[in-house]
Amino acid sequence: MPSLEFLNPAICPPDGFRYVVPETGHVAHAWTYDAWVADAKHHYAGNNMAVPDRLETLMQEQLCLTLPPGWCNYDDPDRPRANLSLTWDDVKEGLTTFTKWIARGCSYVSKQEAERRALICSRCYMNTNVSGCSACHAAVTAITKSRSTKYDSYLRACGACKCLLRAKVHFPLSVLDNSPGKVQELYPGFCWLKQNGQNRIDVPD
């Protein structure tokens, strides 16, 4: 099947053109197509990295995965789609669920594993902002008991499962795999939670 292709670069999509550079986590964001591509190329050049030969194709495909039906060629209008415009109400349920699991004696993964996961999440296009979330930081600190990773400042919320990533990366797979099956379909192939994915590591609890 051909790569997803943005239909009309002259029209700005909802929330603008957005691309997360997978090598660094940099978000190239602009309101015009040309400025968007220039931002990504400038970032590659500024970090002494080779610009991928298919950069615009890769950018369009990632963008299309985040858009509603009708914006791209070769898209399946019935495929599962994530909500990348989250509010506090969207993530509140996830925090409540984490709290309940902790009350049952749920353990945490090692710091090394949490760091590995956090790095992957920090570079993922599903890593999205949460609006109206002034209580998030305090809630995550309480849930993780002050556990942290060096990527915390880059972690926001997962558009697939609506969990705050600063908390999520510390929980074992036995807890996180309880998400509905449709959430699995939303995880990118490189996600550490994707069953049979390239970065999945089944660490014993």
SS3 assignment for 46-86: HCCCCCCCCHHHHHHHHHHHCCCCCCEECCCCCCCCCCCCE
b/e map of 1-21 (b: 16 or more CB within 10 Å)? eeebebeeeeeebeeebbbbb
Distances (CA, A) of 170 to 146, 179, 184: 11, 16, 19
Q: Give burial (CB, 10 Å; 0-12/13-18/19+) of 130.
A: middle
The β-bridge partners of 128 are 157
**Dist CA 116 CA 123 (whole Å):** 12
Q: What is the pLDDT of residue 86?
A: 84
The whole-model pTM stands at: 0.85
Hey, is 191 helix, strand or coil? coil
* CA neighbor of 28 nearest in space, from 63, 4, 75: 63
Burial bucket for residue 189 (CB in 10 Å: 0-12, 13-18, 19+): exposed
pLDDT at 89: 82
CA distance 10 to 33: 7
- Cα-Cα-Cα-Cα torsion 87, 89, 94, 99, nearest 10 degrees, comes to 130
Q: Can you give the pLDDT of all 205 residues of the chain as single tens digits?
A: 678 999 999 999 988 999 999 999 999 999 999 999 999 999 999 999 999 999 999 999 999 999 999 999 999 998 888 878 888 888 877 777 777 777 777 788 999 999 999 999 999 999 998 876 666 777 777 777 778 999 998 998 999 988 889 989 998 888 887 766 688 989 999 999 999 899 999 866 5
Q: What pLDDT score was predicted for residue 179?
A: 67
DSSP states of 92-107: HHHHHHHHHHHHTT--
